[in-house]
Every structure is written in C-alpha cells, then in structure tokens.
Amino acid sequence: MTDTEEQRPKDHPWEGIDLAIYENHMSDAAVGQLQLLHRITWEQLTTYPSRSIGILGVAGGNGLDLIDPATTDAVFGYDINGDYLQACADRHKPTLGPRLHLVRASIDRALDIAPVGLLIANLIVEYVGVEEFAAFAGVNIHAIGTLSCVTQLNEATGFVSPTQYAAAFDELGAISSDIDPPALVTAMEKAGYAHVLSLSYPLHNGKTLVRQDFRPTPLERQPKEIDAR
C-alpha cells in the first residue's frame, strides 16, 4: 500500500480475522449489521457535512462509497489491520484518489490524528474500551469537529451473533467489552465533550446499535482547525 503509514503494532486479535469472513458475518441475514452501519454512515455524513472526514476502525471501507469526492478534501481511515487497509485502498482509491489516507495504527491516547470536521467511530469503542477511547478523544480534542460513535447493545444476545463464521471471532473475547451508553457520555464529558445526539437502531436479532454524537465544549474548541462546511 503506497500511503499507509506503519505507526505501530502486531499480534492484535483483529489481525487474525480475514476481511471476507468479517464482512460475510456482518452482512449475514442473521446479523444485518454491515447494511445498517452503511445506512448510519450515510446519516452521519449528511448530518455533519465536512470537507475532511476521519473513520476509526475503517476495515474494508464500509460507507466510503457514500463520500462525494467533489465536496471532500481528505478522508482518513485508521485501523490496526494492514490487510483491511489494503482492501480499503483497492476499493476506494479509484474514486477518492489522493484524498484517501489510510493509517495503520492502534486507536489509543498515543494516536495523533489529522484535523477533521467529522470523526466516525462505528463499532470500535468495544475493542478500545471506554476509558481509553475517551482518553484518545481528549488528547485529539482540537482536531475533531464532531465525533459520532456507534456501539452495540447486546441485551439478551451474545456479543457475536451466531453465524457459520462466528467461531472466527473467538479471540476477540479477550479484548472486547459491552459498552454502557451512559458510561460513554460520562467519560466523554470528562474528556471535554458535550453529548449532542443519541439514536437507537434495533436489529431483528435482538441487538440494538446506539449512535452517540459528541462535540468539544466551547471552551475546548479551536474553530480555526475545524472545517465544517
């Protein structure tokens, strides 16, 4: 991959999961999350039109097809899995060209992101943890216009929905956790953000995706670095 930076790590459980297996699992009729995440990404992009967009845990680029290159200067995708980033580049470089910057990195408080009007974090907080995610958001507060997060509420169901691919995700048990939406709000407020929106998206398998949007509080905001249209 030509412009993927090697910032860090190896040996993370996500590096052992083939992208096709991940995408087949997530788009299985029993799960339906890839399709719903695609729709939610459309809503995030249209709620906060921005000339620069960041995606944490970009994987193969679900939703990048929704970004209009004519009205976008830069798209930054971050992921720990270099193979996912290669697939993302293969799929989306033809449309996004040099605007697309893919960065192999661990999402934590040591990561310094490029300034963006909108930062999307869909199904990533589960693997980073609320406290570390809020610490990441806190150290990058002057680089973020709006941070829109999606987490999953598992309720009566397991963390991984049962499909023929589910066993491939066993190793994730060691690093994943259920996210309590009010706990995410509390941690983000401590990191200097205001909670500006919550939306729920029930799935037919008993799970619910929860979108929570945050913006730096006025005292933390530095408008010259934020590029909302």
Ligand X SMILES: C[S@@+](CC[C@H](N)C(=O)[O-])C[C@H]1O[C@@H](n2cnc3c(N)ncnc32)[C@H](O)[C@@H]1O
Q: Which residues bind ligand X (CB under 6 A)?
A: 14, 34, 37, 57, 59, 62, 79-81, 84, 106-107, 122-124, 127-128
* Helices and strands counted in the chain (H then E): 6, 8
For 162, counting Cβ atoms within 10 Å of its Cβ (0-12 exposed, 13-18 middle, 19+ buried), the class is middle
| Residue ranges with strand state E in the chain | 5-6, 52-56, 74-79, 100-104, 116-122, 144-153, 193-202, 208-216
Q: How far is the CB of 73 from ligand X (least distance, A)?
A: 22
Q: Which is nearer to ligand X, 169 or 193 (CB)?
A: 169
CA 192 to chain centre: 20
Which CB atom, from 26 or from 185, has the smaller least distance to ligand X? Answer: 26
CB of 91 to ligand X, least distance (A): 13
Contacts of residue 76, defined as CB under 8 A and 6 or more positions apart, other chains included, come to: 52, 53, 54, 55, 101, 102, 103, 113, 114, 116
Q: Which residue has the tokens 């974090």?
A: 121
Report CA-CA distances (Å) from 58 to 84, 148, 184, 220.
8, 14, 21, 27
Comparing CB distances to ligand X, the nearer of 171 and 189 is 171
Least distance in Å: CB of 144 to ligand X? Answer: 17
Q: How far apart (Å, rounded) are the C-alpha atoms in residues 189 and 222?
A: 17
Q: Between 26 and 226, name the residue whose CB sits nearer to ligand X.
A: 26
Contacts of 88 (CB under 8 A, 6+ apart): 58, 59, 60, 61, 64, 77, 79, 102
Of the two residues 133 and 193, which places its CB atom closer to ligand X in the complex? 133
Least distance from ligand X to the Cβ atom of residue 197, Å = 18
CB of 224 vs ligand X, minimal distance in Å: 28
- Minimum CB separation of residue 106 from ligand X in Å reads 4
Judged by beta carbon, residue 118 or residue 128, the one nearer ligand X is 128
Q: Which residue is nearest to ligand X (CB)?
A: 57
